[in-house]
Amino acid sequence: MLLNNVLCRSASAAAAATTTRRFCVTGNRSASPCQRTVFLCLPNVQRQHNLQQYLAKAFSSLNGKMVKQGPRPLVICGPSGSGKSTLLKKLFKEFPDTFGFSVSHTTRKPRPGEENGVHYHFVSVEEMQGAIEKGEFIETAVFSGNMYGTSKKAVENVQHQGKVCVLDIEIEGVKQIRNSDRLNPLLVFVNPPSIEELERRLRGRQTETEESLQKRLNTARKEIEYGTEAGNFDVVVQNNNLKQAYEDLRNFIVRELETQQGQDVFFVTSLVSNYKPFEV
């Protein structure tokens, strides 16, 4: 399973027998749920207890950085009609326990089938502006005359479950958070085959007036220009074919998550190798 942070590293190559111990990244050893669970194969020798205390102390000292950030969030962006929602549905279906969706706020009216608190938090302009003034949002944007935003609480709720937080946001929101040290997000842009195909998809929804449709298409042209510019996103997924687009998205995400797992292995292994018996 992706992000199954079960790391088994021997603290001593010479140790013949090992005992598994469970640590929470918060520094507590228990059977209760925690942000990240790390399993270590510890040498079954006299120093074992001191090593446990040392690791717990080290994890605790990182609580402010590691636990609050959690796994790197996945930001997915693209013009309306580019296929973002379809790709995310496939991703969540394949990995139901790995990803959690950050439910955004918006001032637009719900579309048929959309549920408040599930697809969006539908709020009034006054409620949205009040929350922005209180500093409750990580990013906000105005799109086609409506306000959108990602609240800090929405991201934290997902991270507290130990899952990768997925954010489906607009270009303006991406610009606000792309260099965020706190989030350190993975940025994915979904590019439609063409403006003509995008228009066909949007008309097929039958949810737009001619005026609102033209606004979306004009916005889409700007989004595609920014999204396909080198350096603005970590990867551009070209959605000419759904099967290939999902394979490209999936491969990118799996590779990145495996890299994060490898960094955790290095982190824990370094703690063990740097252990000194008199530090605790």
pLDDT at 28: 39
40 or 114, higher pLDDT: 114
pLDDT at 244: 97
| Span 257-270, pLDDT tens digits | 888 877 765 444 44
Neighbouring residues of 118: CB distance < 8 A, sequence distance ≥ 6: 103
Q: What is the DSSP letter of 110?
A: P
Q: Which helix (H) or strand (E) holds 37?
A: strand 37-43
Q: How many whole angstroms separate alpha carbon 153 and alpha carbon 169? A: 16
206 or 103, higher pLDDT: 103
| Span 38-76, pLDDT tens digits | 444 444 444 455 555 554 555 455 444 433 456 789 999
Q: Catalytic site residue 201?
A: no
pLDDT at 14: 35
pLDDT at 75: 95
The one catalytic residue in 111, 182, 200, 203 is 111
280 or 80, higher pLDDT: 80
Helix 210-227 × helix 195-205 angle, to 10°: 140
Instruction: Tell me if residue 75 falls in helix, strand or coil.
Output: strand
| Span 119-176, pLDDT tens digits | 899 999 999 999 999 999 999 988 878 999 999 999 988 988 889 999 998 898 899 8
- Mean residue pLDDT of the chain comes to 77
User: Which domains are assigned to the chain?
Assistant: 74-262 (3.40.50.300)
Q: Catalytic site residue 216?
A: yes
Mean pLDDT along residues 91-118: 92
Q: How many whole angstroms separate alpha carbon 259 and alpha carbon 261? A: 5
| Span 218-254, pLDDT tens digits | 999 999 999 999 999 999 999 999 999 999 999 999 9
pLDDT at 131: 95
Q: Which helix (H) or strand (E) holds 122?
A: strand 121-122
Q: Tell me the pLDDT band of 110, cut-offs 50, 70 and 90.
A: very high
pLDDT at 183: 82
179 or 197, higher pLDDT: 197
Q: Catalytic site residue 221?
A: no
Q: What is the DSSP letter of 73?
A: P
The one catalytic residue in 182, 203, 205, 221 is 205
**Cβ atoms 255, 247 nearer than 8 A:** no
Q: How many whole angstroms separate alpha carbon 238 and alpha carbon 191? A: 5
Neighbouring residues of 210: CB distance < 8 A, sequence distance ≥ 6: none
